[in-house]
C-alpha cells in the first residue's frame, strides 16, 4: 500500500490541479512492506492529495485503511459485497466532484498566557487534529481539514487553557479562522473566557460539547470493545459495547445503534445492558469498526 501511495504521489506531482483526490480499493492486507514504510509513505503524501479508502470483502485490516484515510484526510468504509462497489464508487466520485475549495485549514490564534490543549473534528466524523499543527504566524497554527464542498459544514471542538484572572474579568482566549490556501479567510469566530464565582455558570457544560464528547467516547468504546472481543476478553467487550449502546441510544445515533445490534443482543439500550452474540458475521463487525467514528449532530432543542 505504501508503494501504491508513492506512485499516486508521483502522478499528482505533475498536476497543477488544486483539488487532488485518490481512491484506494483493496481486498487484502498490506503485505511485503514494513509498517514504518507505510507510515513514511503516508507522511510523504500528506498535503499532496486526499485519499478515500474502501475495503472489499472481509480479508483486509480496518486499522490499516483507517491509518491511511486519517493521515490523508479521506474516508474509510467497507464494501462487503463486491456487487455494491459500482454504487459506492459513484457516490465517492460525486462527493469528490462536489468539492469546491482545496487545502482548507483551521487557523487558531491564542494570546500569550494561553495554551491550546486540543483541536478535534467532531462532525461528521471524529478526528483528532491536535498533532497536525503547522505554525502559521506568531501564536497561531494551522490544522489541515482537506477540501470542502459547497454548503458543507463541519463541527470542531477546541480546548484552550488560560491563566487565572480576577472575577468579572473577560479576555479573548482564541480566534478561530477557516482559511483557504494561506491567505483567504472563509470565516472567523472568537472564543471568550470569562471569570465568575457563580457555581452554576462555572460548572455548566455546553450541550454541544457534552454531546460531542459523548460521540467521541462512543467511537472509542466501539473500537475498544471490538478489540477486547477479538482478544477473547468477553467481560471487557461486553462492558465497552454496552456503554456504546447506551451512548448511541442517548444521542440518537440510530445508524450506529443498528450496527451494534448486529454484534450484541441489546437487552436494555438505556442502561447499556447487552449480551455478546456468539456468532457474528465478519462483515457486520468490520462495518461497525469502520463506521464507529461517524457522528450525529446535536438534536434541536424543543
Report the 3 state secondary structure along the chain: CHHHHHHHHHHHHCCCCCCCEEEEEECCCCCCCCHHHHHHHHHHHCCCCEEEEEEECCCCCHHHHHHHHHHCCCCEEEECCHHHHHHHHHHHHHHHHCEEEEEEEEEEECCCCEEEEEEEEEECECEECHHHCEEEECCEEEEEEEEEECCCCCEEEEEEEECCCCCCCEEEEEEEEEEECCCEEEEEEEEEEECCCCHHHHCCCCHHHHHHHHHHHHHHHHHHHHHHHHCCCHHHHHHHHHHHHHHHHHHCCHHHHHHHCCCEEEEECCCCEEEECCCCCHHHHHHHHHCCCECCCCCCCC
**Residue 222: pLDDT above 60?**
yes
38-75: pLDDT as tens digits: 999 999 999 999 999 999 999 999 999 999 999 999 99
Q: Enter the C-alpha cell of residue 138.
A: 506568531
pLDDT of residue 19: 94
Report how far residue 59's alpha carbon sits from residue 67's, in angstroms, rounded to the nearest whole number: 17
pLDDT of residue 103: 93
pLDDT of residue 123: 95
What's the pLDDT band for 178 if we cut at 50, 70, 90?
very high
Cα 202 to Cα 167, 193, 194, 195, 197, distances in angstroms: 12, 11, 9, 8, 7
111-170: pLDDT as tens digits: 998 999 999 999 999 999 999 999 999 999 999 999 999 889 999 999 999 999 999 999
**Residue 302: pLDDT above 50?**
no
**Residue 12: pLDDT above 90?**
yes
What's the pLDDT band for 300 if we cut at 50, 70, 90?
low
Percent of the chain past pLDDT 70, that is, above it, reads 99
**Domains of the chain, earliest start first:** 2-97 (3.40.50.410), 101-202 (2.60.40.3670), 207-290 (1.20.120.1690)
- Is 0.75 topped by the overall pTM? yes
Average predicted confidence (pLDDT) for the chain? 95
Q: Of 34, 8, 10, 1, which Cα lies nearest the Cα of 22? A: 8
Q: Of 266, 245, 270, 241, which Cα lies nearest the Cα of 257? A: 245
pLDDT of residue 151: 87
pLDDT of residue 150: 86
72-104: pLDDT as tens digits: 999 999 999 989 999 999 999 999 999 999 999
Report how far residue 286's alpha carbon sits from residue 281's, in angstroms, rounded to the nearest whole number: 9
Amino acid at each position: 500500500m505504501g508503494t501504491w501511495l508513492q506512485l499516486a504521489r508521483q502522478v499528482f506531482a505533475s498536476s497543477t490541479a488544486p483539488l487532488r483526490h485518490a481512491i484506494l480499493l483493496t481486498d487484502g492486507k498490506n503485505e511485503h512492506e514494513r509498517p514504518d514504510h507505510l507510515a513514511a509513505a503516508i507522511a510523504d503524501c500528506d498535503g499532496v492529495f486526499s485519499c478515500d479508502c474502501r475495503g472489499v470483502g472481509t480479508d483486509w485490516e480496518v486499522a490499516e485503511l483507517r491509518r491511511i484515510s486519517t493521515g490523508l484526510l479521506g474516508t474509510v468504509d467497507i464494501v462487503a459485497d463486491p456487487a455494491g462497489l459500482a454504487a459506492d464508487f459513484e457516490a465517492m466520485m460525486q462527493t469528490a466532484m462536489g468539492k469546491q475549495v482545496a487545502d482548507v485549514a483551521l487557523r487558531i490564534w491564542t494570546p500569550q498566557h494561553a495554551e491550546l490543549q486540543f483541536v478535534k473534528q467532531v462532525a461528521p466524523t471524529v478526528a483528532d487534529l491536535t498533532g497536525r499543527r503547522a505554525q502559521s504566524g506568531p501564536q497561531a497554527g494551522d490544522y489541515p481539514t482537506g477540501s470542502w464542498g459547497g454548503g458543507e459544514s463541519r463541527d470542531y471542538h477546541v480546548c484552550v487553557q488560560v491563566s487565572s484572572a480576577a472575577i468579572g474579568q473577560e479576555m479573548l482566549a482564541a480566534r478561530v479562522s477557516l482559511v483557504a490556501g494561506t491567505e483567504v479567510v472563509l470565516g472567523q469566530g472568537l472564543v471568550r473566557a470569562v471569570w465568575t464565582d457563580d457555581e452554576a455558570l462555572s460548572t455548566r457544560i455546553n450541550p454541544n460539547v457534552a454531546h460531542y464528547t459523548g460521540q467521541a467516547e462512543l467511537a472509542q468504546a466501539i473500537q475498544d470493545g471490538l478489540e477486547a472481543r477479538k482478544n477473547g476478553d468477553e467481560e471487557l467487550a461486553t462492558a465497552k459495547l454496552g456503554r456504546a449502546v447506551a451512548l448511541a441510544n442517548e444521542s440518537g445515533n440510530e445508524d450506529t445503534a443498528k450496527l451494534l445490534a448486529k454484534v450484541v443482543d441489546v437487552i436494555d439500550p438505556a442502561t447499556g445492558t447487552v449480551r455478546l452474540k456468539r456468532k457474528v458475521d465478519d462483515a457486520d463487525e468490520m462495518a461497525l469498526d469502520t463506521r464507529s467514528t461517524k457522528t450525529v449532530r446535536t438534536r434541536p432543542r424543543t
